Amino acid sequence: MADEHRSDAPHHTTVPVIDPGLTFASVTDKISSIVLKRKTPLAWFIGFAISFILFQLMLLAITNLVFVGIGLWGVNIPVAWGIDILNFVWWIGIGHAGTLISAILLLLRQRWRTSINRFAEAMTLFAVAQAGMYPIFHLGRPWLAYWLFPYPNTMGVWPQFRSPLMWDVFAVSTYATVSAMFWFVGLIPDFATLRDRAQSKTFQIIYGWFAMGWRGSARHWHRYEMAYLLLAGLATPLVLSVHTIVSFDFAAGIMPGWHATIFPPYFVAGAIYAGFAMVLFLTIPLRKFYGLEGFITMRHVHNMAKVMLATGLIVGYGYVVEAFFGWYSGNRFERYMIWNRMHGPYAIYYWALILCNIITPQFLWIKKVRSNLLLLWLISIVVSIGMWLERFVIVVTSLHRDFLPSSWGMYQPTQWDWAMFVGTLGFFFSLLFLFIRFLPMISIFEMRTILPEAEVEE
Amino acid sequence: MSEDRHINFQLMRDRIIAAQRDSAASEADPVAAAPGKTYWRSLEEWADAPEFRELVQREFPQQAEEWDDPVERRTFLKLMGASLALAGLSGCVYQPPEKIVPYIKQPEEEAAGRALFFATAVTLGGVATPVLARSNEGRPTKIEGNPDHPNNKNSQVGDRGSSATDIFAQASILSLYDPDRSQTPIFRDDARPWTTFIGDMRTALNGADGKSGLRARQGAGLRFLTETITSPTLAAQIKGILAEFPQAKWHQYEPVNHDNARAGALLAFGQPVNTIYDFSKAERILSLDADFLSALPGNLRYARDFAARRRVTEGRKEMSRLYVIETTPTTTGASADHRWSIKPAALEGTVRLLASQLGSLPAVSANDPSAPSHTWVTQVGKDLQEHRGASVVIAGNEAPPVVHALAHAMNEALGNVGKTVFYTDPIEANPVDQTQSLRELVQDIDAGRVELLVILGGNPTYNTPADLKLDQNRLFKINLRVHHGQYKDETAELCHWHIPATHYLEAWSDTRSYDGTASITQPLIEPLYESKSEHELLAVFSDQYDKKAYEIIRDYWRGAQTANETIRVYSRGEQPAGSNRPEAAGKSVPAALAGEPNAQKPGAAAVASPAIQSSPQPSSPPMDFESWWHKCVHDGFVPNTEMPAQTVSLKTDLASQISTTAQAPPPNTLELVFRADPTIYDGRFANNGWLQELPKPLTKVTWDNAALVSRNTAKKLALGSSPAVKGRETYVDTIKITNQGRSLNDVPVFIMPGQPDDVITVHLGYGRTRAGRVGNGHGFNAYELRSADSPWLAMGVQVTKAGAQHELATTQLHFNMEDYDFSHEDRDILRIKTLKEYLEDKPEKHEAHEPGPDETLYNPEEDDYKNQGPNALNYAWGMAIDLNSCIGCNACTIACQSENNIPIVGKQEVTRSREMHWIRVDAYFKGGPENPAGPYFQPVPCMHCENAPCEPVCPVHATVHSAEGLNDMVYNRCVGTKYCSNNCPYKVRRFNFFLYQDWEQPTYQLMRNPEVSVRSRGVMEKCTYCVQRIQSAKIHSEIEGRPVRDGEIVTACQSVCPTEAIVFGNINDPNSKVSKIKAEKRNYGLLAELNTRPRTTYLSALRNPNSEIGE
């Protein structure tokens, strides 16, 4: 199966998207056995335990926050949004890769997406879950968060539809819903496979319930294909809209450093950049650990690296244009904002961001780097950090020195800020660990369609 | 059922009557009443009685028939009142049962929900600020200045009078309700009844056997130590005691005193005088280290007149010119047209040079080492001489006596005396050299000649100079020590007896303002605790030891009024009260003698009391005492009691007397300057959170004092040249200061632009250890370095770097309008120009920053908040702030805090930039960091933008625009996204990151303004333009069927502003004052280029420099 020379020597121009030695049966066996047959490895338990402990830290942080107040965080006047909103944007950004891979690449008939879409979609969903918590708990009175929804009420008050935060509510909730449906619909045939192969009654019932009576008839397949395509069509504009709207949170404000027309495309590119970095960061060890080199081949790795390089260049262009407009506007506040980013008290964040997000991905031009899994993995970490720094620069350094020098201030996250962030990481990985343990992390039936066996029929 | 209830009430009534008999019996014999056996214990027993419990548990309507029976009703209400009192108070207050019964007859003017105003006066350092205190349902809630007081009125007709006060008067409300105030008399840490104290004092005076006490020795060993006393009654009481005990002595000491001014007057005239200035006629002012805009007695009046003389609006085109020579930056220096900072040692030489130029002194010889070579001195002298009779030379209280004497001589030479400078008798009842007075007391203590020391106010253990410290070693040599004060402070700790002092809003007294006008201090509330006024305490040493303060005051003034037709003669404290004191007939009249529903209403006082306009002239027949007394209490002052101007002549040998005292400043030494703290004064306000959190006017430091040094001095001491910013906190270097063998370690350093080199300024009042929960443990105690001989200056101090870092909580980190590393061009925030530039109409360099054309897709007519259609009342509220008038005194910040129930957040939260003030006073320097000018002040409330950036970003409509143009904040709707604050270019919004309000403390509940919501955790808040006052005026006008008059609505910040820099009104009315001011050429909108269309606009600051003096 996974031949050593294939993964180590990708000089062949057309590396296959799946190990040609696999068959329908072996694909199904291999993927479903992770869930059904194989003994849960000790490392899984260790990883899950760590994640789960961090998840408990998040619960502690949230409980304390609700009882004591958001003064526990480092936010203040003038920097009223800190790493809470930063993390929201960061998580949402990570969540972008999944839908992009699933929907857009599906519509573009990029067959290589099949090996990674399930996993990327799960990652999307879990990342959006983390992101969704921040807008709620960054409120001064989180128990009133439902006031942001336009529900009919006796007060006769509607939300303010001019507010970008209002648009966020729609954008994020729609995105979360559609992503969840897309993911679930894609899982139905595999649930049926698991139901059929499950060895205990309990799992048969559980998987059977989720399989919704899937029998694999032609009519089922027909309806399934149609539904999946429609959902892909629905999800596609969302990929662009969610981060566009998130960028409006800033672009609609009048703060220097926020009020920029470049924000929507630059945020979307940044999101895809961060998302692919996260997919790579997770896939490389997973593929190794579960021996999935046959499914996620070097072709995938190369493609993802190339997407990162492309989006990284767009993001880099964004930084350059931002600086250029700051100077070219002739507006003293804009000019000072750019100067302050580069020389002010938070300059180190800015230069670290340039290093992480513009310099580092340039190595991806080199094929040898793209072939070196360890290097790629490190680059994906650096890019993830860089994207976090980018949001820090946008949120914090824009706010901390705005128009009136008298109200300039400083911001520093507190241990509760970090507890919440680390806690969401814990929650995210807890969900991921559960996912790889209980669900097929690679789409079984879709993998079968790209086998050479399947091609015969076409 | 009904029968049962009737029986219940019978039982209860019997019980109450029995209890009342008991308490009446114990009152008759107060000594027999053991401590602890109080009324409250029996009330608790009542509360536990089954009858009572049953009564309380029953539903109210079932009791309705009992209301027909007056006896039952009274009982019921009394018990309800008692149970409420049990729930709320700590149980150590004796409250007579009569007071709990609600009104059977509604008191005059009292209507629930309507505030009443009572005239009274705040005394600080012996000088009164006349005020109107607002009372909501019997609770004092806000202080306003008394516009009817002669100090606040101008002579011209129709003058509304100023309602200004200083920060201390505003914050006094918080002190009244401070839960840390001492609540009961204490003897050696045990609570004792007042009667025990009386007994103890009588024993000390008369001896156990009636013979061996102090009285037998004519009071030898009896000492009183007070602060500066201007109260005529108190002085008369003390003098009465001194007459009875001829060997007793009265000492006065206050750390912030006028000794130097007194010594200077003695030097110049041979007699102590009180100097009063008239800045309304002063064209040229020379201040010699005098902070007359914020620290001298009379500063409110001075600031008002000063600002009026410099107001360039509505056609006025002239400004006075202010020269300031100072040794440490002050707000007065910040307002100056020319300001020179010099070393304290050089002050005398400079003044001498000036004096000789004005002909007050023989010319200084060229080789006089003390003569500084300032070229500007000639120009200043010339300018002053060109304005003879219309100039003022004023010396500060901290300046050495010679400077005062020379200032007097210069005023004489300039012909100012009788025109802008007036001399009167001292307003103090007994003006003494306070340091000398303290020294005598210390000598007597050291010699063992003091047996009973009564410390009446003040905190001498804390605030006496280091070499005359009334510390443990000294005080323990005295057999019996009594302390009277509002707090159980450092001094109280070392005294046997501590008697809680009443707040001025709790007790009757009298006092004098800076020109001598006497005021009756009228209480608005019963003492919250078992406090006694100083009058009651002193009465213990007279033969009428249980006399109430009200009777003491009233009898004094009755004596003063009836003994002579005019009050003036007797108002100087010469009347030996107590000699022919008639017994007061009848009970105390209620404090609510009269009140005005709206103190701001012009002419309201005249309506309430027709006699006000015709104050009795000395020649007019005397009124009967009752009406005279009522009028004095109602108006807040005793007419015709100001000190008459006197003619004093300079001593002829003045020049020779002072010619030899000047010394050359020792080269290369550091000088240490002491000043009262700008917000907590001498330390007495340390436990007042409002004042602690109020940013110091020049440094914006809160909760701390620091050593102010210049940038060069900091470099010399190898200290960091700017505050080091680490994360969100500001850390500064610390130093060790040593003066005459005494040293203070870890003193934080603040680099103050404008500070002379080699001069360190420290502020008194910090480093308290027993101030209370708020004031303990902040800052360092500068008294440790102070010496009695030279209280304001220490020469030749040694300073070393301490190496540690200290965290300062400042509300403003950046004092320049641009970051100097980036650009030297100012942001267009605070516009300043010279009068000449303004009059010459030089083209505005700010044109680029004016708002652009209003490009909108909406119909501009509909979108304009100023046009409200034909049927609307057509109000459009707006505010204009004249930066030329603002002196940075911070009174607006505190007034706003008091009016709008704004919490304090504490030092830790201030370091996190979470202070809550709705109006802040920004300070900016102009010019490079090496030698900047200023600071210039800019009060920043909410701008109430017509295109408010905060409004469209709120997702829940919690901040919306009213039809009248107010940017309203709906607290109940706010979920706390904080987006509005992020998008506010002025950063005036404040967020409740925690539950900052103290919802538990019962006294704070009494303090709050009932018309303003108390905000909870997690909501945004900001300036509302005092919307409650707007609504109140609108309701009044609707009742009267007329539109709101111009000037009828006065915001809290506007009302308190001593310089009338803030004007508020309807900008749709072209004749309103605010419209006229906004029509001035100087008017500009802050950050108007953002097209926010702010309703609050500014008038640029003007300076009037002498063109012959170079920069």
Three-class DSSP category at B77: helix
Contacts of A416 (CB under 8 A, 6+ apart): A61, A64, A65, A72, A73
pLDDT digits (tens, 9 = 90+) for B744-781: 988 999 888 889 988 999 999 999 999 998 999 999 99
Structure tokens of B931?
């030698």
Helix (H) or strand (E) holding B454: strand B452-456
Tens digit of each residue's pLDDT (9 = 90 or more) over A80-99:
999 999 999 999 988 887 78
φ, ψ dihedrals at B646, nearest 5°: -120, 160
Binning pLDDT at 50, 70 and 90, where does residue B16 land? low
- Closest by CA position to B483, among listed B188, B202, B783, B204: B188
- Cβ <8 Å between B974 and A140: yes
pLDDT in the model for residue B69:
44
pLDDT digits (tens, 9 = 90+) for B523-559: 999 899 999 999 999 999 888 888 888 999 999 998 8
Q: Which among B819, B913, B979 has CB closest to A409?
A: B913
Written as six digits, the tokens of B375 are 């070229």
pLDDT digits (tens, 9 = 90+) for A24-49: 788 788 888 877 777 888 989 999 99
Whole-number pLDDT of residue B20? 59
Q: What is the pLDDT of residues B183-194, one digit of tens each?
A: 999 998 889 999
Mean pLDDT of B138-154: 90
Measure CB to CB from residue A77 to each of B827, B955, B990 and give the nearest one. B990
Write the pLDDT tens digit of every residue in B106-131.
Answer: 777 777 778 889 999 999 988 999 99
ipTM: 0.91
Please state the separation of Cα B34 from the chain's center in Å: 40
The proportion of chain B whose per-residue pLDDT surpasses 90, expressed as a percent, equals: 48
pLDDT-wise least confident of B79-83, B338-342, B517-521, B1089-1093: B79-83
Higher pLDDT, B8 or B458: B458
- Binary contact (B953, A164; C-beta < 8 A): yes
All residues of chain A having their beta carbon less than 8 Å from the beta carbon of residue B940 are 404, 406
What would the DSSP string read from start to end of B626-647?
HHHHHHHHHHTS-TT-SPPPB-
Yes or no: say if B976 and A141 are a contact pair by the CB < 8 Å rule.
Answer: yes
Q: How confident is the model at residue B407 (pLDDT cuts 50, 70, 90)?
A: very high
* Residues B244, B117: Cα–Cα separation, whole Å: 40
Instruction: Out of B187-191, B236-240, B426-430, B585-589, pick the least confident.
Output: B585-589
Using a CB-CB cut-off of 8 Å, the residues of chain B touching A412 are 727-728
Which chain B residues have a beta carbon less than 8 Å from that of A69?
Answer: 992-995, 1017-1018
Is A160 in contact with B955 (Cβ distance < 8 A)? yes
Q: Which of B953, B968, B973, B1021 to mutate to test the interface with A (most CBs of A within 10 A)?
A: B953
Q: Does residue B579 have a pLDDT over 50?
A: no
Distance CA B251, CA B242 (A): 12
B373-377, B887-891, B1002-1006: range with lowest mean pLDDT:
B373-377
| A74, A148, A405: residue with CB nearest B817 | A405
pLDDT classification of B583: cutoffs 50, 70, 90:
very low
Distance CA B337, CA B365 (A): 30
Higher-confidence residue: B344 or B596? B344
pTM to 2 decimal places: 0.85
Say which of B818, B975, B995 has its CB closest to residue A69: B995
B179 and B172 in contact (C-beta within 8 Å)?
no
Residues of B in contact with A415 (CB under 8 A): none
Q: Are A165 and A249 in contact (CB under 8 A)?
A: yes
Are the beta carbons of A392 and A345 closer than 8 angstroms?
no
* Interhelix angle A164-197/A24-36, nearest 10 degrees: 110
The conformation of residue A147, written as its DSSP 8-state character, comes to G
Q: What pLDDT is stored for residue B211 in this prediction?
A: 74
B347-359 tens-digit pLDDT: 888 888 888 888 7
Torsion of CA B150, B156, B158, B161, to 10 degrees: -30
State the number of CA atoms in the 13 A half-sphere of B127 facing the CB: 20
pLDDT, tens only, B259-290: 999 999 998 998 999 999 999 999 999 999 99
Here the tokens at position B280 are: 């309304």
**Section B908-937 average pLDDT:** 87
**Contact: A139, B975; criterion CB under 8 Å:** yes
Q: How far is CA B551 from CA B199, B251, B509, B536, B628, in A?
A: 22, 26, 10, 10, 16
Average pLDDT score, chain B: 81
pLDDT at B18: 65
| Residue written as token pair 């340091």 | B435
Of residues A235, A363, A260, A254, the one with CA closest to residue A309: A363
Q: Which residue has the higher pLDDT, B906 or B872?
A: B906
The tens digit of pLDDT for each residue in B602-643 reads 333 333 333 333 333 444 455 688 888 988 999 999 988 888
Vertex A440, ends A437 and A441: CA angle to 5°?
Answer: 85
pLDDT at B66 over 60: no
Task: Give the residue, B159 or B311, on which the prediction is more confident.
Answer: B311
- Secondary structure of B136-173 in HEC code, one letter for each residue: ECCEEEEEEECCCCHHHCCCCCCCCCCCCCCHHHHHHH
Residues B885 and B905: beta-carbon distance below 8 Å: no
Indicate if the pLDDT at residue B950 is higher than 90. yes
Residue B85's pLDDT is 45
Instruction: Name chain A contacts of B955, Cβ cutoff 8 Å.
Output: 148, 159-160, 163, 165-166, 169
DSSP one-letter string for B199-249: HHHHHHHH-TTSSSSGGGGTTTTEEEEES----HHHHHHHHHHHHHSTT-E
Look up residue B779 and give its two tokens. Answer: 């800052």
Task: Say whether pLDDT at A445 is over 90.
Answer: no
Query: Chain A interface, mutation test: which of B815, B975, B1022, most A Cβ atoms within 10 Å?
Result: B975
Q: Do A141 and B825 touch (CB under 8 A)?
A: no
Helix axes B891-899 and B167-176, enclosed angle (nearest 10): 30
pLDDT digits (tens, 9 = 90+) for B651-707: 887 777 776 555 555 666 789 999 999 999 999 999 999 999 999 999 999 999 999
Q: What share of chain B is helix, strand, coil (3-state, %, to 5)?
A: 30, 20, 50
Rounded distance, CA A174 to CA A180, Å?
10
Contact A410 B913 (CB under 8 A): yes
pLDDT tens-digit readout, B460-476: 999 999 989 998 889 99
Q: Which residues pair with B393 in a beta bridge?
A: B286
Instruction: Name the pLDDT band for B10 (thresholds 50, 70, 90).
Output: low
Token pair of B499, please? Answer: 């008697």
Q: A388-392, B699-703, B712-716, B894-898: which range is least confident on average?
A: B712-716
Lowest-confidence pick of B223-237, B321-335, B862-876, B927-941: B862-876
B71 CB contacts (<8 Å, ≥6 apart)?
B13
CA distance B552 to B273: 29
Condensed to tens digits (0 to 9), the pLDDT of residues B32-60 reads 433 333 343 434 444 455 554 454 444 44
Residues A24 and A427: their CA atoms lie apart, in Å, by 35
d(CA B228, CA B231): 9
- pLDDT tens digit string along A274-301? 988 998 999 899 888 888 888 888 888 8
Return the bridge partners of B798, or none.
B738
pLDDT band, residue B566 (cuts 50/70/90): very low
Q: What is the average pLDDT across A146-161?
A: 88
List the single best residue of A138, A167, A406, A415 to mutate versus B (max B Cβ within 10 A).
A406
Shortest Cα distance, chain A CAs vs residue B889, angstroms: 17
Strands (E) in B217-341, as ranges, are 222-226, 249-252, 274-277, 284-288, 321-326, 338-341
What does chain A come to in residues?
A: 458
Q: What integer pLDDT is reported at residue B804 of this predicted model?
A: 83
Contact at CB, B976 and A70, closer than 8 angstroms: yes
Radius of gyration of chain A (CA): 23
Interval B698-737: pLDDT, tens? 999 999 999 999 888 888 887 766 655 555 557 888 899 9
Of B725, B913, B973, nearest to A76 by CB-CB distance is B913
Beta-carbon separation of A404 and B985 below 8 A: yes
Question: What is the identity of the amino acid at B59?
Answer: E
Which one is predicted more confidently, B80 or A219?
A219
Chain A residues within an 8 Å CB radius of B1090 = 254, 403
Mean pLDDT is highest, among A217-231, B82-96, B152-166, for: A217-231
**The most confident of B27-31, B358-362, B624-628, by mean pLDDT:** B624-628
Q: In this structure, how many other beta carbons lie within 10 angstroms of the beta carbon of residue B840?
A: 9
Task: Please indicate whether, in this complex, the C-beta atoms of A332 and B825 are within 8 angstroms of each other.
Answer: yes
Token duo for residue B102: 């609600």
**How many residues in total does chain B contain?**
1111
Cα nearest neighbour of A258 on chain B: B983
Q: Is the pLDDT of residue B164 over 80?
A: yes
pLDDT of residue B41: 41
Query: How does DSSP classify residue A357?
Result: I
Q: Is the pLDDT of residue A251 over 50?
A: yes
- Residue B273 CA to residue B571 CA, distance in Å, equals 17
In this model, does residue B89 exceed pLDDT 70?
no
Q: Would the CB atoms of B922 and A343 count as touching at under 8 Å?
A: no
Of these ranges, A51-60, B378-387, B576-585, B723-732, the one predicted with the greatest mean pLDDT is A51-60
**Residue that has been written with the tokens 């190496």 in this structure:** B803
Distances (CA, A) of A450 to A110, A350, A366: 11, 44, 29
CB pairs under 8 A between A and B: 186
Whether residue B1013 has pLDDT greater than 80: yes
Helices and strands (H, E) in chain B, number of each type: 33, 38
Burial of A355 (0-12, 13-18, 19+ CB in 10 A): middle
What is the distance between the alpha carbons of residues B939 and B697, in angstroms, rounded to a whole number? 11
Which of B812, B816, B913 to probe the A interface (max A CBs under 10 A)?
B913
Region B196-214: what's the mean pLDDT?
A: 84
Mean pLDDT (chain A, rounded): 87
**How many whole angstroms separate alpha carbon A322 and alpha carbon A316?**
10
Q: Are B121 and B130 in contact (CB under 8 A)?
A: yes
* pLDDT for position B651: 83
